[in-house]
């Protein structure tokens, strides 16, 4: 992922009113390992149910405001993130909704999907299996996971933008 500035991020949102964008907390951008991300995702410290996701589409950053569900999945079961497709304990996957862009979003239309609670899919896909004769090359696994994650983020963004 190409690096983003605070101005890039604030100007990127498709589905957020200006007052939300102006008040949002930003992550520590100086700490981000940009080369190891398909998108930048974070939860707002001041509004814990709010999350943000920003990625590049056709040489421009595109951002989405997300809202985490108040309800959690049943504990003790596995769940799978719809973006990274990594199975994990249910408390680590949350239903997030994103208001649709434009008039539809203002009228209350949303798009939802299950995403890693900490929005850290880029880190999870980099936890690779140990090399072995029975496993594919870890570099191939990462390349496949990265391409899939990027595709699914773009598809989700297209649904929000539609």
Compute CA distances 65 → 53, 87, 107, 109, 150, whole Å. Answer: 7, 24, 16, 13, 18
Q: Which tens digits make up the pLDDT trace of 57-108?
A: 999 999 999 999 988 888 888 999 999 999 999 999 999 999 999 999 988 9
Residues 13, 20: Cα–Cα separation, whole Å:
10
- Res 110 pLDDT > 90: yes
Residue 73, both tokens: 């999945």
**Structural domain boundaries in the chain:** 6-161
Residue 26, both tokens: 């930003």
Q: Which tens digits make up the pLDDT trace of 21-62?
A: 999 999 999 999 999 999 999 999 999 999 999 999 999 999
């Amino acid at each position: 992922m190409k690096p983003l500035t605070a101005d890039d991020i604030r100007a990127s949102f498709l589905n957020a009113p200006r007052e939300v964008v102006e008040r949002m907390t930003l992550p520590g951008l100086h700490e981000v390992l940009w080369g190891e991300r398909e998108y930048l995702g974070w939860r707002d410290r001041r509004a814990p149910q709010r999350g943000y996701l920003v990625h590049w589409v056709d040489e421009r950053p595109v951002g989405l405001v997300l809202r985490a569900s108040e309800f959690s999945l049943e504990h003790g079961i596995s769940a799978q993130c719809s973006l990274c497709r990594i199975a994990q304990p249910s408390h680590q996957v949350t239903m997030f909704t994103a208001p649709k862009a434009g008039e539809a979003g203002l009228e209350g239309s949303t798009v939802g999907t299950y995403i890693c609670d900490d929005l850290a899919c880029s880190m999870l896909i980099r936890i690779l299996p140990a090399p072995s004769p029975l496993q594919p090359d870890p570099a191939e696994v990462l390349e496949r996971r990265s391409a899939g994650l990027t595709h699914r983020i773009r598809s989700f963004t297209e649904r929000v933008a539609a």
